[in-house]
Structure 1
Amino acid sequence: MKRALIVVGIVLAGLGALGIRVVVEGRRALAAGDDAAREGRMTDAIAGWEAAARWYLPFAPHVDDAYERLIYLAGSEHAFALAAWRAVRSAALATRTLWTPHADDLMTANAQIAELASRDPEGALAAGPDAAARKAWHTERLARDPGPSRGGVFLAVLGIGAWLAGIGMVIRGPAKLGAAVTVLGLIGWMIGLAIA
């Protein structure tokens, strides 16, 4: 029991340290974006705010602040609207796991990117001759899920689990069976990564 408490304590301390780092780095990136905006360096401001949004931790205030700044800029500065919406999209996709934080912002960003990109006849010549065709083309491409396949991720996680179980079996149980499970786990993990 005492050993389990020590392990739990170490894990919680590690997670706490990681959480503190995420918040500190996120606030630093947000401040860098704010400084750049005050100096009129809007491209650097967008990069800073996007970085802050990517330092995601549930309920961390810097994340929502970063999204708010990007969305406000996209609505108020036409020259930087496309870049700001792309930063919103990028941050939302980069921070998704089993769910997508700021999924509504991602959908809005996709719609705005398609709209803004459709106005540029040179932006995607293959998209079509008029704005409506270009908007449909961009909308369809932005709707695609760029993430890994769920089956591949499942197989990779299952493979890692089998690999860890095999190592445990080698250490504590029948070594031959543990070695076989370890090898099968690694193979499953590699296949999962390949198809993900």
Structure 2
Amino acid sequence: MSAGSKPKPAPKIGRPRAFDRDTALLAAMRIFWAQGYEGTSIQDLVGVMGVNKPSLYSTFGCKEDIFREAVDLYDRVEGLATSRSLSDASTAREAVETMLRSNARAYTVDEGPRGCMIVLSSLLGAPENESVRAFLADNRLDGETILRDRLSQGIAEGDLSASADVGQLAAFYTTVLEGLSIQARDGASEQKLHLIIDAAMLAWPAG
């Protein structure tokens, strides 16, 4: 190196990411929520996530991998309405009713897609998406199991009749919750959803 010449800067190791992974995943969650799994293409994901296709595959994997991560994010963020209702309520009946009503409010907000991403994304038809269908079915079954456990707690604590069929009740109110999601996506008002909940709570076992 000649006198007075400046040393060249050392080359940078690795290529910095030009996007924030969490922000990109949030964008993916929203488009899956709005369009469903089958209705969302890789090109849609590239567009909203702010990455090119090679970067998308190297960072997140295939479309199904991205979807599974998006569902996990949805559970952690949007699932709070359900988890808090079940954990904070003092009785099993209050837990169920609060769960339904808090989700009715969440399903009908003006910002973002209406309804539940997991329920709406489960309406799949293509045979090649069977693994996604099974994944979503397991996710919903997990939710039903959590509700059944809360109902069993109600029996143990004496606020739900010992003769109550907790499996039947958990399946019924899970189905009501999923139906609220479909109604919300179809444009039903929050008031209409609460009227449906009023009718559903009439099925609560006496005693």
TM-score normalised by structure 2 residue count:
0.29
Q: Return the TM-score normalized by structure 1.
A: 0.31
Higher helix share: 1
